[in-house]
Amino acid sequence: MLHIPILVENADLIVVNKPVGVAMHDAVDDTGVKKDPTKGIKAGRVDGIVTVLKKQLAVKELHLCHRLDTGTSGCLCLAKNATVAAEIGELFSSRRVSKYYLALSSNKPKKKQGMIIGDMKNRRGGQRILLKTQESPAITQFFSSAARSGTRGFVVKPHSGKTHQIRVALKSVGAPILGDTLYGGAASDRLYLHAWHLRLPLSKGELSVTAPFDAGEVISQEDVHTWVEALNAPDTYPWPSIPARFLT
């Protein structure tokens, strides 16, 4: 049975290092038969992260507090009761949670660092696109540096929680994420997007968690691993202020 690494656990919540390929919810097709969504064929029951963790921890109640794409690894928070889930949900909706991601690309971006702001729109085939309008925009900041020859590393701070936000943002600067073939990224063994650090200002005290980025053929290469290990703490980067009109 799949084992999910636990980063933090207390009476109220757990934070796990979600593996690549694990979905948020159990997969069910229109016939009611659970299937493997990566193969598109009936393959019996495919448990999502909540079901896996309930079995692993032998608990009956867990609540997802936010979401990660199936291909994304890293920090994922689940509450052990509805009250804590509501508190954390409010922190996310009011943008008081600090989230930082790591990503790799085989392309050099148009600019080494910056802020990407724009509304997002759904397209066919599960894609999203970034628009020039800014009515309810996705806001994404990033710093980049060479992880090795031919591979660019990114530290990313999303200020909103739009679906595929980081994936679309990096594509918009000419550096789609390695393994993200949906958005033009080079084929690889995984989607190289990782929820690296999570900070929650909870009523019982601030919780700060970092998930190791250590799964995948590329990240296991010595020079890329060295790049990750040499990164500064995410809150020490000179993140620019968000324009006031986007904070209301």
CB neighbours of 43 closer than 8 A, spacing ≥ 6?
34, 35, 36
The reply to whether 69 belongs to the active site is yes
Cβ–Cβ contacts within 10 Å for residue 223, how many?
Answer: 11
Assigned token pair, 87: 């508190």
Catalytic site residue from 47, 69, 180, 189: 69
Query: Residue 79: which of 161, 158, 8, 164 has the closest Cα?
Result: 8
- In this structure, the dihedral spanned by the alpha carbons of residues 97, 98, 102 and 105, taken in order and rounded to 10 degrees, is 80
Q: Looking up tokens 């867990």, which residue turns up?
A: 62
Q: What is the DSSP string of 138-180?
A: EEEEEEEEEEETTEEEEEEEESS--TTHHHHHHHHTT-PPTT-
Sign of torsion, CA 155 158 162 165? negative
Give the three-class secondary structure for 65: coil
Q: Looking up tokens 């084929």, which residue turns up?
A: 187
74: Cα separation from own chain's centroid = 7
CA distance 1 to 56: 9
Assigned token pair, 216: 């995948």
Tell me the residue type at 247: L
- Positions marked active-site: 69
